Amino acid sequence: MKPPARLLILDDDPLTGQTISNIAVLAGVEALYTDDPREFFRLSKDWGPDFIALDLVMPRMDGVQVMVELARLNCQADIIISSGVGGRVLDAAARSATEHGLKISGVLPKPFSPARLRELLNRQSARATHTVRNTPNVAQSANSIPAHELADAISLEQIKVVYQPKINCRTGLLAGFEVLARWQHPTRGTIAPDDFIPLAEKSGLINALTESVILQSLRWFAGLSDSFGLDVGFDYLKRRLNDVTMSVNISAISLSHLDLFERIENHCRSMHIQPERIIFELTETCAMEDPVSSLDILTRLRMKGFHLSIDDFGTGYSSMLQLARLPFSEIKIDKSFVMTASESKESCTVIKTINDLGHGLGLYTSAEGIESLETLEYLRSIGCDLAQGYAIARPMSGPAIIEWLSNCNNNDETRRLNVLHSLNILDTPGDERFDRITRLAARLFQVPIALFSLVDTHRQWFKSSVGLETQETPRDISFCHHAIRDDCILVVPDASQDPLFADNPLVQSAPFIRFYAGCPVHADTGIRLGTLCLIDQQPRSFSNHQQVLLKHLAQMVENELASDFVAHSDAFTGMLNRRGFDARAAESISLCQDAGLHACLFLFDLLEFKAFNETWGRAAGDRALIAFGHALKETFRGSDLIARYGDDDFVVLMTGVDPLAAENTLLRLDDVIARSFGEYPVTHLSGWSILQRADSTQQLILRASQNMLIARSPRGN
């Protein structure tokens, strides 16, 4: 049996000291208490405590001094700071201790709650069983492990990796994983990275270590969605997994080693992983060490497509100006603030400030160290983008992640409703993103009614509907409630002849359903939230080909649910931006190719827009951009994809269109523009191209822009 963990207490108040000791003993932890610093240092050396509870303010020595001394003695215990002083001081002390290299497991404000102390001890004992730092007779610190052992460990692949899931705060959906290194030592047990990364950095082994970590994780990542076999129940999850990201930690020293990144790029290429799915995490201090050459290196990495994240933000020292110049895509709020958010107002202020700063610089914000659902809720409330922490999931081995994902995939009703409710989508206003798809469905299938229905506890609620006035119906009479029972499409060719539906009030009275086809819409790792469904008042048959098409449309709804709309829309006009267009156009194009439908892409370029701005002023320029967007919306159909593609470039993709109609559409646009542009008309060039069998979005755009230059003279007034 494992020996009980040991807690050493230093406190000038015997009553407090004794109380802490009693609580610890009840929690199965051995405890020793002293109020004498000298005795304390002797015990911390000879007795080898796993935990230290430390009072910050004592008459003979202050807690901060004690921590400096503990750091000098290379103390490996987990430290719990207790004190009656205010939260801000406590937080500052905790941060200063972390900077000295001590392991701070939490703060215990006085008057303290026994539950909080037990929680800190339990959490740490759980960790103690996984790491060796709590077996006092074994030397574990970086200083005591010889470098050659680490070198051997790297070549023998004893450095393994674990993965910690990261979710989108707003939707609760899986967004990616962070890779964390673990040393599986044959005799010392598992060694935590804080204990061997510094050694690797000091002894010139860090690049080899990083490459080993990256190779293992890329291999796992490349095969991830295939680990779920051919079971159709996992189709949604498999598709989602091809979009999630993987974050890897990079040490400051590695940053200047360009050959390392070249090799990483090659590994990605050979395993068919897009660099866009890989995020390198660098601490802010690391990037700031040499801002000039950092800018150079980081920019090159971004140009290869990799994303960059500023790790542990808030703990280093950075100049805001330099930070703003560096090409990061994400800012990661340090866990020391996040872990203390529930008990410290100051931490919340810091979190919110960093979050606003990140968004102000156009970065995604991410928080790690989330240990309670309350903190997760707080982060959601301030609009933080991404979340990671024990309350969501612990770091796990590759196979454990697969098991975790499979378990998340089960559609038990409680979990299903939890996911639905955490999406915060019920009872929200209409949304163009989904309306475009229901309109497209109604048009392609020529049905009077098309719905995106969410199956809630006692009702189905329509997030988007074409051809139906009601916003919801009771769940027990809904067709969709049946359709979400498995992953196939539910087809009811004639409800009046179907024993399950013939008596249904929706069949007997308005909307007089005769034909129904509903395809499940998934979220999270495979939960069926509701359906995309088609309804007709006539009986109909529904071919296999049509089923494939409906499935395609349902996948578009799923992609909208999972997409980050903020990143996909142009803040100024509210239209889709280039990224948003590219993501959706690819789907629409493959839909047309699968279904043998025509599609037509239009490109518009406002002429001499710069000169226009100079002549009429920026405000008029802004109005013209918005007006042009409106004119496009009025001219094209609600099911078309319309976007602002660049500063003064616009693009429209029409799906399921007669190619001959293209010319007419442009004439219609001219009419709309003539009517709606008042004082300052803009002129534009336009070009279009028709979808060919194997086209990609880029090929369509290229041909449209060639046609624009060759075939058309300037249009407009």
Q: Is 284 in the site for ligand C2E (CB under 6 A)?
A: no
- 567 class by beta-carbon count within 10 Å (0-12 exposed, 13-18 middle, 19+ buried): middle
Contact 228, 234 (CB under 8 A): yes
The secondary structure element, H or E, covering residue 674 is helix 661-676
Q: Is 97 in the site for ligand C2E (CB under 6 A)?
A: no
Q: Shortest approach of Ca ion to residue 216 CB, angstroms? A: 17
- Nearby residues of 19 by Cβ (< 8 Å), 6 or more positions away: none
Q: Shortest approach of ligand C2E to residue 271 CB, angstroms? A: 18
Stretch of 26-34, 93-101, 245-253, 608-616 lying at the interface with ligand C2E (CB under 6 A): 245-253
Q: How many CA atoms lie within 13 A of 488 on its CB side?
A: 4
CA distance 564 to 168: 9
By CB under 6 A, name the one of 94, 104, 180, 708 that touches ligand C2E. 180
Q: Shortest approach of ligand C2E to residue 162 CB, angstroms? A: 7
Q: Shortest approach of Ca ion to residue 312 CB, angstroms? A: 4
367 binds, among Ca ion, ligand C2E, none (CB under 5 to 8 A by kind): none
Q: At what angle do helices 14-26 and 114-128 cross, to 10 degrees?
A: 50
Q: How many CA atoms lie within 13 A of 685 on its CB side?
A: 17
End-to-end CA distance of the chain: 87
Q: Is 487 in the site for Ca ion (CB under 5 A)?
A: no
SS3 (DSSP) at 54: strand
CB nearer Ca ion, residue 249 or residue 453? 249
Chain-centroid distance of CA 295 in Å reads: 25
* Closest listed residue to residue 7, CA positions, set 372, 15, 23: 23
Contact 566, 486 (CB under 8 A): no
Q: Is 249 in the site for Ca ion (CB under 5 A)?
A: yes
Q: Shortest approach of ligand C2E to residue 372 CB, angstroms? A: 9
By CB under 6 A, name the one of 311, 385, 487, 695 that touches ligand C2E. 311
Q: Is the peptide bond before 520 cis (omega within 30 degrees of 0)?
A: no
By CB under 6 A, name the one of 176, 389, 398, 621 that touches ligand C2E. 389
Q: Shortest approach of Ca ion to residue 388 CB, angstroms? A: 9
The structure tokens 């719990």 sit at 80
**24-30-31-32 Cα dihedral, nearest 10 degrees:** 170
In the region spanning residues 154 to 173, those forming contacts with Ca ion, defined by CB under 5 A, are none
By CB under 6 A, name the one of 170, 185, 335, 463 that touches ligand C2E. 335
CB nearer Ca ion, residue 363 or residue 632? 363
Q: Shortest approach of ligand C2E to residue 252 CB, angstroms? A: 9
In the region spanning residues 395 to 424, those forming contacts with ligand C2E, defined by CB under 6 A, are 395
Interface mask toward ligand C2E for 358-387; x: CB under 6 A: ----------xxxx----------------
The secondary structure element, H or E, covering residue 247 is strand 245-249
Q: Are strands 30-34 and 6-10 parallel, antiparallel or unpaired?
A: parallel
CB nearer ligand C2E, residue 16 or residue 210? 210
CB nearer ligand C2E, residue 196 or residue 609? 196
Q: Shortest approach of ligand C2E to residue 71 CB, angstroms? A: 17
Stretch of 80-88, 248-256, 503-511, 556-564 lying at the interface with ligand C2E (CB under 6 A): 248-256
How many residues bind ligand C2E (CB under 6 A)? The answer is 25
Q: Shortest approach of Ca ion to residue 188 CB, angstroms? A: 24
Q: Shortest approach of ligand C2E to residue 246 CB, angstroms? A: 12
In the region spanning residues 15 to 74, those forming contacts with ligand C2E, defined by CB under 6 A, are none
By CB under 5 A, name the one of 281, 524, 582, 587 that touches Ca ion. 281
Partners of 83 in beta bridges: 109
Contact 523, 423 (CB under 8 A): yes
Whole-angstrom Cα Rg for the chain: 30
How many residues bind Ca ion (CB under 5 A)? The answer is 4
Q: Is 193 in the site for ligand C2E (CB under 6 A)?
A: yes
Q: Shortest approach of ligand C2E to residue 253 CB, angstroms? A: 9
Structure tokens belonging to residue 702: 């290229």
Contact 700, 682 (CB under 8 A): no
Q: Shortest approach of ligand C2E to residue 126 CB, angstroms? A: 11
- Please report, as a single letter, which amino acid is at residue 372: S
Contact 108, 117 (CB under 8 A): yes
Q: Is 78 in the site for ligand C2E (CB under 6 A)?
A: no
By CB under 5 A, name the one of 78, 311, 487, 648 that touches Ca ion. 311
CB nearer Ca ion, residue 286 or residue 652? 286
Structure tokens belonging to residue 709: 């230059």
By CB under 6 A, name the one of 251, 555, 573, 686 that touches ligand C2E. 251
Q: Shortest approach of ligand C2E to residue 263 CB, angstroms? A: 15
CB nearer Ca ion, residue 313 or residue 650? 313
- Nearby residues of 674 by Cβ (< 8 Å), 6 or more positions away: 717
Q: Is 312 in the site for Ca ion (CB under 5 A)?
A: yes
Q: Are strands 307-313 and 103-109 parallel, antiparallel or unpaired?
A: unpaired
Stretch of 131-139, 280-288, 377-385, 418-426 lying at the interface with Ca ion (CB under 5 A): 280-288
Concatenating the DSSP letter of every residue in 267-308 gives: HHHHTT--GGGEEEEEEHHHHHSSHHHHHHHHHHHHHHT-EE
By CB under 6 A, name the one of 119, 136, 289, 390 that touches ligand C2E. 390
CA distance 509 to 667: 44
CA distance 487 to 471: 25
Residue with the shortest CB distance to Ca ion: 281
Residues that bind ligand C2E (CB under 6 A): 164, 180-181, 192-194, 197, 210, 213, 249-251, 281, 311-312, 335, 339, 368-371, 388-390, 395
Residues that bind Ca ion (CB under 5 A): 249, 281, 311-312
